[in-house]
Amino acid sequence: MQLPVYNQQGQKVSTLEVSQALFGVKPKAAVLHQAVVAQQANARVSIAHTKKRGEVRGGGKKPWKQKGTGRARHGSIRSPLWRGGGITFGPRSNRNFKQKVNRKVRRAALAMALSDKVFGQQFLVLENLTPALKKTKAVMEILNKLPLKRGKTILALPSALKEVGHLAANARGVTAMWVGSFNVVDILRHQNLITTVEGVKEMEKIYAR
């Protein structure tokens, strides 16, 4: 499988042979959906928390005697029947939203997400990025010369170009990350994915098993 390689002036200079197992997988909606839902569920934090009757302050004394008053019997003013009492079946902060996804399914979903970018011509490979870049403006000038789709962009960099990633992090609409920290949600949320030849090789080393 061949992908075009661009230089920093936005011109095609060569082609790069990439792994069919990582960049040529036919996407399946069910697999991608399972991976996305699980990732979002595992990132979910339960904040809402209500108190049960045993956690509400007060109510230690029986409000009135059991018999003889003509009123209904009650044992505590912190019963869920009373205003200011405990909450029945309310949300609790210890709720667990986590979902388990098999490793093979996660890897397959990631390969499908990357392949979808390749099939849609939204996966662009740069010949190289100069590590000596000093300003965010210089990084954006390079990206603006590439045939990008309209929308947000991931700049996926190999380990040797982490400093360039720090510059790109300041750019609007650009998310810089290491190629080894991919996840399905980020790839699908961004319209473009840009990396370098070294980045592709590092991806294949990490993911193409």
**Could you report the per-residue pLDDT of 169-178, keeping only the tens digit for each?**
888 899 999 9
If one counts the domains in the chain, the total is 2
Look up the pTM and report it. Answer: 0.81
Give yes or no: residues 59 and 110 share one domain.
Answer: no
- 81 pLDDT band, cuts 50/70/90, is very high
**Could you report the per-residue pLDDT of 17-27, keeping only the tens digit for each?**
999 999 999 99
Across the chain, mean pLDDT equals 91
As a whole number of angstroms, the distance between CA 208 and CA 115 comes to 12
Q: Which domain holds residue 160?
A: 2-27+102-207
For residue 209, pLDDT beyond 70? no
What does the pLDDT read at residue 151?
Answer: 93
Give yes or no: residues 72 and 50 share one domain.
Answer: yes
Do the Cβ atoms of 181 and 207 come closer than 8 Å?
no
Asked whether residue 140 is domain-assigned, the answer is yes
Give yes or no: residues 65 and 136 share one domain.
Answer: no
Asked whether residue 12 is domain-assigned, the answer is yes
**Could you report the per-residue pLDDT of 131-178, keeping only the tens digit for each?**
677 888 888 888 899 999 999 999 999 988 888 888 888 888 999 999
As a whole number of angstroms, the distance between CA 170 and CA 117 comes to 24
Give yes or no: residues 135 and 82 share one domain.
Answer: no
Q: Where are the alpha helices (DSSP H) in 6-149?
A: 20-23, 29-42, 103-119, 136-144
Q: What mean pLDDT do residues 48-53 have?
A: 94
Give yes or no: residues 84 and 17 share one domain.
Answer: no
